[in-house]
Amino acid sequence: MDAGEPRRKAPGRARSAARPPARALAHPRASQPARTHARTHACTHARTHARTHARTHACALCQRRARLTNPMRFTPRVIVDAALHPAWAIDRLRHGIPRLATLDPYADTAASRGGTEHAGYMLRTAPDMDYLAALRDEWDGKLVVKGILHADDAAMVAPLCDAVWVSNHGGRQFDAAPAPATVLPAIRAALGPGAQILVDGGVASGTDILRYLALGADFVMSGRAFHHGLAAFGAAGVDHAIHILRASLEADMGQLGLARLADLPPIYAPAPLP
């Protein structure tokens, strides 16, 4: 190396400087178990946020790369791909192309649209509190508001619905949206222990389910795991995905010494609204 050339930092050192490790703040006089618990809590929360963010923000890119349309457009690429997967092609000939049957009456099914131009965009409105109140007046059944990512929004809609669903819609709508695991503790603190909270995003194991429950969720939802199982093995694949999640959940509960999910200690810190 030339004596006049500036010294370059090692790649590993540069990465560690850019992304310092998560640290738990503990009182200097805290006992060793307390400091260990604080560090474990901080690391678990950081891992949950990173994994959820990565998983939930990959869907839109995959759709663009795969050139997905709804309904399916039979391009030369799709025809070749179908020929390379005869079992799938025969099953589609027998049962037809999957559709969003619930939304078909409202959608223009004659035109193939891109993955981001589905029927939901054609039905899009500008929902606000007046819209939610009108919907509540018209509907006597259970009403769940999905897509909540801020404690103030959760507190605002909670009186008009039966449950709040914490979700960034798989990271497909807004790439910079926070991961549900990041905002869930504050939403639980704002709504209190009696509110019903659902959450989704990045659920791939029983450990992820336990994390969400410990962060304040009542129900943990998953979609991608079941879609992958269905695509691979049909109904048997969905059953297998359920088996994987259940076995992982039971194994983790055994490691934690939990006989029931109700025994799981929360890792959030509820606080009253100011």
Ordered by start, the domain boundaries in the chain are 69-114, 126-263
Catalytic-labelled residue, pool 169, 228, 240, 243: 169
Yes or no: say if 199 and 180 are a contact pair by the CB < 8 Å rule. Answer: yes
**Which CATH number is associated with domain 126-263?**
3.20.20.70
Q: Which of the given ranges, 51-60, 150-159, 231-240, has the highest pLDDT on average?
A: 150-159
Q: What is d(CA 119, CA 162) in angstroms, rounded to the nearest whole number?
A: 26
- What's 28's DSSP letter? T
% pLDDT > 90, the chain: 43
Beta strands in the chain (DSSP E): 69-70, 113-114, 144-148, 163-166, 197-200, 219-221
What three-state secondary structure class fits 240?
A: helix
User: What pTM does this model have?
Assistant: 0.65
> How many Å apart are CA 161 and CA 159, to the nearest integer?
6
The tens digit of pLDDT for each residue in 156-174 reads 999 999 999 999 988 777 8
Q: Report d(CA 169, CA 139) in Å as an integer.
A: 24
3-class secondary-structure state, position 233 = helix
Whether 211 contacts 184, CB under 8 Å = no
Residue 208's pLDDT band (boundaries 50, 70, 90)?
very high
User: Do 194 and 159 contact (CB within 8 A), yes or no?
Assistant: no
Encode pLDDT of 211-249 as tens digits: 999 999 999 999 889 999 998 998 999 999 999 999 999
Is 268's pLDDT higher than 60?
Answer: no
205 secondary structure, DSSP code: S
Report pLDDT for 265: 85
Checking if the pLDDT of 32 tops 70, the result is no
Is residue 169 annotated as a catalytic residue, yes or no?
yes
